[in-house]
Chain A
Amino acid sequence: MTSSGPEHPQDVGASDASFDYVARTPDEASEDLGEEAEEDETVLIDGWALRLGSLPVGPPVPGPPSAVPAPTSPAAPAAVGLRALFGPGRRPRARLGTRLGIAVLLGLLGFFAVVQVRSQNGDSTLRSARQSDLIRILDDLNDRSDRLEGEIRDLDTRRTELQSGTDSSKAALAEASRRKSVLGILAGTVPAHGPGITLRIVDPQKKVDSAVLLDTLEELRDAGAEAVQLNGVRVVASTALVDAEPGSVRVDSQLVTAPYVLKVIGDPDTLDPALRIPGGVFAVLGERGATPTVSAADQVVVDATRPAENQQYSRPAPAGSN
C-alpha cells in the first residue's frame, strides 16, 4: 500500500499490479482518495491511514460503505475473513487455467524458497560476510596455510632425520653387539666354542713351572689362539701365572695342579705345528720330562668365564683427540 498520488478508478488494478498487489475496487479507491484529500501530509503512509480509517477503533469513516464491511461486533470480521480465505467465498470461482497458473506460481515460490533455505544451511557466516571481511578471512587462511605448509616441511625434514638416525643407530647397535661378543670372548666374560685343540701336559717329574706354561701360552697366542682355558681357569690378557708347590701353578690366584689341560680355540692346523717347532714348546716340555699330547677337534668348548671388570676410572677417549 505504497501507492502515491491519486489514481483513476478505471486503471487502478493494472497500475497496482506492477508492484503492489492489492487491487482496489472503485469503492475503496474513492475512499482512498477521500482519505488523501483529507490528510495530504500522509501520502507515504496512506496505506496505514486507510487501514486505520477502516478499523472500528479509528475515526469514523465518512462516505459510502466500503468493500470492507465495518463490523458491528468483534467476531464478525474474523468470520468474514476466514470465509474469504478458505471457503468457496462470495466471489465467483476463477477459470481453471488461471487457478492452475496461480498454483504453478505458488509451487515455484515454495520450490525456490526451499532451495534458498537449503542453500543457506551451509556456511552461513561466510555467505553473510562482506567482501572486505571475506578478503581478510581469505588472507588469514592463506597465511595459516603457508604456516602449516612450513610446519609440514619442518616435520618432514625431522622425520627423515629421525628415520636415518634410527637406521644408523640400528647399525651401530648391531656393530656394538658384534663387538661386545668379540670383546667378551677376548675378556673371557662369555663362554666360547669353535674349532681348536686340546693340549694335555702330563708332568710326572713336577718340573713344569709357570715359566714353561707361560711360554706355551705365548706360543699358542702367537699361533692365533682366540680363547684359552687352563684346567678350568680362563686365560685372558691380564692372567698371571705364579709358581706354587712343584707340580702346581697359581693361575690368577687359583691353584692348578698337573696334569695341565689347555683348551684352545683357534686354527688347529696352525696351533699344532706352532707347538712342535724345533726348540719350541714340545722340546722344552720334553727336556723337563713332561709328555704333551695334542688332539684337534671341530668343537672345543671354552666354558670357563671371568667376571667382567668395571672400569672405574678410565673412559674411552673421543676419537681424534690426542
Chain B
Amino acid sequence: MIAALGLAIGVALGLFFKPSVPFWLQPYLPIAVVAALDALFGGARAMLDGIFSDKVFVVSFIANVLVAVLVVFIGDRLGVGGQLTTGVIVVLSIRIFSNVAAIRRHLLSA
C-alpha cells in the first residue's frame, strides 16, 4: 500500500511541477523508465509467484535502471548509442512481455 502511495505521489509531483528534462538526461530517461517498468512487472510477477523479496526488488530495480543507462551511455561513447538504445528497449520489452504474460496466466489463468 505504501508502494502504491509512493507511485501516486511521484505521478502527482511530476504532474504538478512539470519539470523539463535536462538535455544530458534526454537519451537516458526513457531507457531508465522502461527498465524500471521492467523491474516493476518482474516484482508483480514475483508477488504472484509468492516469492517476492523486498531486498531483491530494490536491488534489481536500481541495477536494472543503472545497467540499462550504462549500456546506452557506453553506446553513446562508442557511437552506437541509437542502436544500443533500440537493443536495450527490445530486450526490456521482451522481458516486460514475458512478465506480463506470466502475470496474465496467474490472474486470468489463460
What residues make up the interface of A, taking CB atoms closer than 8 Å to B?
1-2, 13, 16-25, 28, 47-48, 51, 55-56, 67-68, 71, 74-78, 80-82, 84-85, 89-91, 94-95, 98-116, 118-119, 130
Contacts and interface: CB of A to CB of B under 8 A. Distances in A.
A102 B56 CA distance: 11
A77 B109 CA distance: 6
Interface in B37-53: 37-40, 42-53
B44 A67 contact: no
Given A16-B60, A110-B11, 12 more contacts: A2-B91, A16-B56, A21-B38, A22-B49, A51-B101, A55-B105, A68-B49, A80-B50, A106-B4, A107-B13, A108-B10, A111-B11
7 contacts: A2-B94, A17-B60, A28-B51, A51-B98, A51-B102, A94-B54, A118-B14
A23 B14 contact: no
Contacts of A25: 51
Contact of A119 (B4, B21, B52, B106): B21
A75 B30 CA distance: 38
Nearest to B26: A119
A303 B6 CA distance: 101
A112 B32 contact: yes
Contact of A115 (B7, B19, B82): B19
Contacts of B11: 110-111, 113-114
Q: Would you call the interface of chain A mostly helix, strand, loop, or mixed? A: helix
Nearest to B42: A21
A107 B16 CA distance: 14
B78 interface: no
Contacts of A84: 47-50, 52, 106
Nearest to A88: B1
A105 B58 contact: yes
Contacts of A67: 49-51
A22 B10 contact: no
B106 A13 contact: no
Contacts of B29: 112, 115-116, 119
Interface string B86-110: 0000010011001101110111110
Contacts of A118: 14, 18
A170 to B, nearest CB: 55
Contact of A68 (B50, B56, B103): B50
A51 B109 CA distance: 12
B30 A116 contact: yes
Contacts of B63: 17-19
Given A21-B57, A67-B50, A110-B8, A78 B108 contact: yes
Contact of A109 (B37, B45, B103): B37
B60 A100 contact: no
B53 A13 contact: yes
A103 B6 contact: yes
Contact of A17 (B26, B50, B59, B82): B59
B20 to A, nearest CB: 7
Q: Which among B44, B60, B94 has the greatest number of chain A C-beta atoms within 10 A?
A: B60
Given A51-B102, A81-B107, A111-B14, A116 B33 contact: yes
Contact of B58 (A16, A74, A98): A98
B62 A105 contact: yes
Contacts of A19: 60, 63-64, 67
A194 to B, nearest CB: 80
B6 A20 contact: no
B72 interface: no
B67 A23 contact: no
A77 B46 contact: no
